[in-house]
Amino acid sequence: MDITERTVFIAGATSGIGLELARRFAAAGSSAVVGGRRADLLDRLAAEGFDTVPIDVTDQDSVDRARDAVLRSHPGLDTIVTMSGVMIPEDLRDPAHFGAARQTIDTNLLGTIRVIDAFTPHLVGRGAGTIITVTSGIGFLPFPVMPTYAASKAAVHAYSEALRAQLDGTGVEVSELVPPAVATTPEQARLNPRALDLAEFATEVMDLLQTDPTPREILVKGVLMHRWAERDGTYDDLVAQRSQALAMLPSRQ
C-alpha cells in the first residue's frame, strides 16, 4: 500500500490505536477522516486539522449518514478501517452478563459489517481500494475474562476471510489488522507492563502496510505468539496462564 496518497476513513478513531493510525496516515501525506461517537473529541480533532464525521456503528442510520458525508466531501475515498470496538469483562456464572455480550457483538461484529456494507459498493464501483478490518490477538488466543470480545474478534477474522474471497477480482483488497495488547494511555501501560507502546506499534503497522503486496494479516512481532499458539503447541499453556485473571471477577473473590 502506498500510504502517501490515500484517502482513509477510520471508524472509531477519536482515541487510541485508531487516532494514532489517523495521525500516521496524515503525516505520510494521506487524507485521514476520523469517525467517532463523542462530539467533544471530534471537535478537538477538527481543531487539530482532521476532517471528522460522527458515527455510531451500532446505528444503521448513523452509519448511512456517515457514509454519505464522507463520500460527499471525499469522493475519491479508497481506504476503510473498521476500528470501532468495546472490551467488556463478563462473568459467565452471572446471567446478567448477557447485556455486555449483546453490546459487544453489536459493536465489534455487526458494527464492522455495517461499516463494510456501507462503503463496499463505492470501493467496488471505483475498481480499487482497501478494507482494513481490526481483530485482536485475543481472537486467536482467548482471554477468558472477556469471552464475547474474543468470540467477536474471531468472528471478524472469519468474516474478513470470506470478504476477501468474495471481493477477489474487484480490485478491492482486504487486510486484517491483529493488535496485541497496546498501551494507549499511561494508566494502561502501568496496569499491563507487557503491553506494546502505542507509537512503536503504529510504526510497525505502517511499515507492514507498505509491504508489497499488502499483507492479508498485519501481524506485528508482539502478536505472533497469539496468532500461532495452536500451531506452535503453546495454546493450552497460554490459555491457562490467561485464565488466572478470572480471579478478578466478583464471583471468584
- Out of 149, 151, 175, 205, pick the active-site residue: 149
Catalytic site includes residue 149: yes
Decide if 171 contacts 213 (C-beta within 8 A): no
- b/e 62-88 (16+ beta carbons within 10 angstroms → b): bbebbbebbeeebeebbbbbbbbbbbb
Q: What are phi and psi of 116, to 5 degrees?
A: -60, -45
- How is residue 35 written as a grid cell? 469517525
User: In b/e form, how buried is each residue of 184-202, taking b as 16+ CB within 10 angstroms?
Assistant: beeeebeeeeebbebeebb
**Phi, psi of 13, deg, nearest 5:** -125, 25
- Distance between CA atoms of residues 166 and 195, nearest Å: 35
- Active-site residue list: 149
